[in-house]
Amino acid sequence: MKLATLNDGSRDGQLVVVSRDLTSAHYATGIANRLQEVLEDWNFLSPQLQDLSDSLNHGRARHAFAFDPHQCLAPLPRTYLLAVGQAYAHPAPPATPCAPLRLAFGDELQGPCAPLPGSSAAQALDFEAALAVITGDVAQAASPAQALDAVRLLVLASHSHYRALAEQPSRALLSTPRTAFSPVAVTPDELMRGGESAWIHGRLNLPLQCSVNGRKFGLCDAGSDMSTHFGELIAQLCQTRRLRAGSIVSSGEVRNQDSSRGCSSIATRRAREAAQDGKSKTPWLAQGDSVTIELKGRDGQSVFGAIDQDVQIDAQPTTPAA
């Protein structure tokens, strides 16, 4: 099934079930109002949502309405924990080694069409296209297999970056101020088509499309070069603590060793340009630029809907009502 959260003026929005083709939706009122409620009581509430999803996909839902991704918040608008991994090898390793997992701000997650805000006081604004999973409860010392069993939903993510700040250890957390998410989150079984699943052993084997200002920027295979799968990423987090339902774990930037497949961030493209030509030429994001990130299934249909953001320097995010 596919789930989304519509902006109703509150911090956590209103949960809806979305059709497989992303054209229609139905309020989950009567089952749950918020996605966090479902994650905390998954075994009881998710079968009820699945029944509603089946009715919606077969045209039997009486109060369905047209689905508009512009009305979406992030599927989970705020989270207890947002961790960003380094699941893909870097084509040009940075001078300062990156931690295998880093924490990011999870108190205000952005919807798919929210502005990508930049600050004139910071430099080298970038995006980082990634996959992410939303978990149920995960026990301390869980194995990778046990961690995978706790994956409830998959989403697309775009982490905004100030690359100049990332080079300063004392300001590294400030270098990733916001994360935007796809309109919908999907259950792993939704990736099964024709008897074959694109979700295999903690990897999603589909191409991730990125464009900047309407021009193709990358078409990276999300599965082929993922050296650390999601079960392993989650298990790393659980070495010394448990995870609560509603934790989000990101793969970090999706990368391929084959440079012909393009890139999922400006930093990676600039690193490849510097390695090949001795200098980087691709500019960082600036006022008026746009970034689009989408992943399509083998049937050509969008799986999560698109993250589609316009860069607005010094934009202030809207604060929802309490």
Q: For residue 95, count other CB atoms closer than 10 A to its CB.
A: 5
Asked if the model's pLDDT at residue 321 lies above 70, the reply is no
- Count CB-CB contacts under 10 A for residue 161: 24
Q: pLDDT value at position 175? A: 76
Residue 100: what pLDDT?
A: 77
Output 51 or 321, whichever has higher pLDDT: 51
Closest CA to 229 of 192, 199, 267: 199
Strand 248-253 to 82-85 pairing? parallel
Judged against a pLDDT cut of 80, whether residue 107 lies above it is answered with yes
Token pair of 284, please? 């960082």
Q: For residues 124 and 119, give the distance between their C-alpha atoms in angstroms, rounded to a whole number.
A: 10
Which residues neighbour 190 within 8 Å (Cβ) at sequence distance 6 or greater? Answer: 1, 2, 20, 303
Residue with tokens 């705020």: 78
Written as six digits, the tokens of 289 are: 């630029």
Q: How confident is the model at residue 116 (pLDDT cuts 50, 70, 90)?
A: very high
User: For residue range 233-290, what is the model confidence (pLDDT) as tens digits?
Assistant: 999 999 999 999 999 999 999 999 999 999 999 999 999 999 999 999 999 999 999 9
Looking at residue 41, what is its pLDDT?
A: 98
- pLDDT at 118 (0 to 100): 86
3-state SS record for 210-256:
EEECCEEEEEEECCCCECCCHHHHHHHHCCCCCECCCCEEEEEECCC
Average pLDDT over residues 168-184: 83
Q: 286-317, pLDDT tens digit by residue?
A: 999 999 999 999 889 999 999 999 999 886 65
Check pLDDT > 90 for residue 97: no
Q: Cα separation of 277 and 283, whole Å?
A: 15
214-242 mean pLDDT: 96
Whole-number percent of the chain with pLDDT over 90: 81
Q: What is the pLDDT of residue 23?
A: 97
- Of residues 122 and 50, more confidence is placed in 50
Q: Tokens in use for 76?
A: 């989970």
Spans of all domains in the chain: 72-313
Which pLDDT does position 121 carry in this prediction? 74
For 81-85, 92-96, 133-137, 168-172, which range has the lowest pLDDT when averaged over its residues? 92-96
Instruction: Identify the pLDDT of residue 314.
Output: 83
Report whether pLDDT(177) > 90.
no
Q: Is the model's pLDDT at 95 over the cut of 50?
A: no
As a whole number, the mean pLDDT across the chain is 92
Lowest-confidence pick of 135-139, 191-195, 250-254: 191-195
Judged by DSSP in three states, 115 sits in: coil
CB 161 within 8 A of CB 94: no
User: CB within 8 A of 130, min separation 6: which ones?
Assistant: 84, 156, 157, 158, 159, 250, 251, 252, 253, 254, 264
* Per-residue confidence (pLDDT) for residue 184, from 0 to 100: 98
Q: Which overall architecture, per CATH, does domain 72-313 show? A: Alpha-Beta Complex (3.90)
Taking the model in full, what pTM does it have? 0.93
Spatial distance between the Cα atoms of 222 and 163, rounded to a whole number of angstroms: 23
Mean pLDDT computed over 101-128: 90
Distances from the Cα of 83 to the Cα of 132, 165, 221, 240, angstroms: 9, 18, 22, 15
* The pLDDT value given to residue 196: 83
Q: In this predicted structure, what is the pLDDT of residue 188?
A: 96
The three-state DSSP-derived secondary structure of 184-207 is: CEECHHHHEECCEECEECCEECCE
How sure is the predictor about 322, in pLDDT bands with cuts at 50, 70 and 90? low
2-52 pLDDT, tens per residue?
999 999 999 999 999 999 999 999 999 999 999 999 999 999 999 999 999
